[in-house]
Amino acid sequence: MAVRRKQDSGITVLTVSGEFYGDSETDVLEAALQKELADGTLKLVLDLSECGMMNSNALRVMVNAKKAYDAKGGAIRLCGVDRRMKRLLEVVHLYDWFDHHDTEEQAVAAFSKPEQV
C-alpha cells in the first residue's frame, strides 16, 4: 500500500495503490488527504487506478475529505476507478457524488472548466 504525490499542471494528484481495509494503510491515506488540505491544496485528483479495494473505513476517509474540500471551496476528483471499485461506490451511492473521470489527464483538465474550482 502506498499513497504517492505529484503535481500535474498545478493540480495535486495522489495515487492510491494497494488495498485499504481500515488498518494503517487507511491511516496513511487519511493523513495524506488531511496534509494536502492543511497545506492549502484545493484542487486534488485521487487516482484509484492502482487501488484494489476499500472497506467502509477507507470510504469514510474519502467522504470526510470531500466534505472538507467542499467546505473550503476546493474539489476532489476521482480517476482510474476500475469496475470493482465503481461497483462498490455505486452500491454505497458515492459514485455520482464524487466527480469522476476515466484518466488522470481528464480529471486534471476538468479543473480548467469555468464552472469548476
Q: Is 111 among the domain residues? A: no
CATH classification of the domain holding 32? 3.30.750.24
Mean pLDDT of 63-70: 97
Task: Quote the crossing angle between the two packed helices 24-38 and 56-71, to the nearest 10°.
Answer: 0
Task: Note whether residue 53 is domain-resident.
Answer: yes
- Which residues neighbour 35 within 8 Å (Cβ) at sequence distance 6 or greater? none
Tell me how many domains the chain contains.
1
The pLDDT value given to residue 117 = 44
Instruction: Give the residues across from 7 on adjacent strands.
Output: 12
Give a yes or no: residue 56 inside a domain. yes
In a domain, 65, yes or no: yes
d(CA 105, CA 49): 13
**pTM score, whole prediction:** 0.91
Domain with 52 in it? 2-106
pLDDT tens track for 74-97: 999 999 999 999 999 999 999 999
Residue 34 maps to a domain: yes
Nearest one of 58, 77, 47 to 19, comparing CA atoms: 58
Specify the pLDDT at position 115.
56
Q: Is residue 70 part of a domain?
A: yes
* pLDDT score of 22: 82
5-63: per-residue pLDDT in tens? Answer: 999 888 999 999 999 998 899 999 999 999 999 999 999 999 999 998 999 999 999 99
Cell numbers at residue 27, please? 491511516
Q: With respect to residue 61, please indicate whether it lies within any of the assigned structural domains.
A: yes
Residue 116 belongs to a domain = no
